[in-house]
Amino acid sequence: MSEYQQQHSPTAYGQDGDALPPVEQHAQQYETVRNAHETELIEDYVELIGDLLRHRGEARAADIATRMAVSQATVSKMIRRLNELGLVTSKPYRSLFLTEEGQKMAEISRSRHDVVLHFLRALGVDDSTARIDAEGMEHHVSDKTLTIMQRFTEQQRT
């Protein structure tokens, strides 16, 4: 491991606050991010389908495509995957519906999303920015952090 042959940096930087984390911990950071990326899109689809069902009573592929700014072909393909994963049921040319499992995922995702969004607003971020940031951040916030965010938001509200 070349990384350990040279213990002292020859540059003038020395200690500048943050050292490199231990290898195992560092590796775990990236692994966790990769895992999040695997489920991220699935969650967004399921969450959106749930939201469309709640707010509009139906979830059509065309609406998903518009809201996600993605082609209908992309949505169609994705729906097949969601079907295979047992998250949605779909008859051709009909509205989508969520399975039990899909509904569970939708609820969890929506609640996570809400906690992050409300937290950002409580922190002083304007609504439109908060919405954009929350859409990405939500998938990378641990349960621990989520709890802390929630507490912060509640305290702020008083």
Partner DNA sequence: GATAATTGTTAGCCATGGCTAAACTGTTTA
Partner DNA sequence: TAAACAGTTTAGCCATGGCTAACAATTATC
Binding site for its own copies (CB under 8 A): 1-3, 6, 9-11, 13, 16, 18-21, 23, 25-33, 36-37, 44, 51-58, 60, 62-63, 66-70, 114, 117, 120, 123-126, 128-133, 135-137, 139-142, 144-145, 148-149, 152
Return the axis-axis angle of helices 100-123 and 143-156, rounded to nearest 10°: 50
What residue 98 binds from DNA, its own copies, Mn ion, none (CB within 5 to 8 A, per partner kind)? none
Binding to DNA by CB under 7 A, coded x per residue (else -) over 69-98, reads xxxxxxxxxxxxx--------x-xx-x---
Between CA 17 and CA 6 the distance in angstroms is 20
Q: Which two tokens stand for residue 75?
A: 């949505």
User: Of 7-15, 54-62, 127-135, 144-152, which segment contacts DNA by CB under 7 A?
Assistant: 54-62
Least Cβ distance, residue 55 to its own copies (angstroms): 5
Residue 124 interacts, among its own copies, Mn ion, DNA, none and using kind-specific CB cut-offs from 5 to 8 Å, with its own copies
Can you give the binding site for DNA, defined by CB under 7 A? Answer: 1-2, 5, 34, 37-38, 40-42, 60-63, 69-81, 90, 92-93, 95
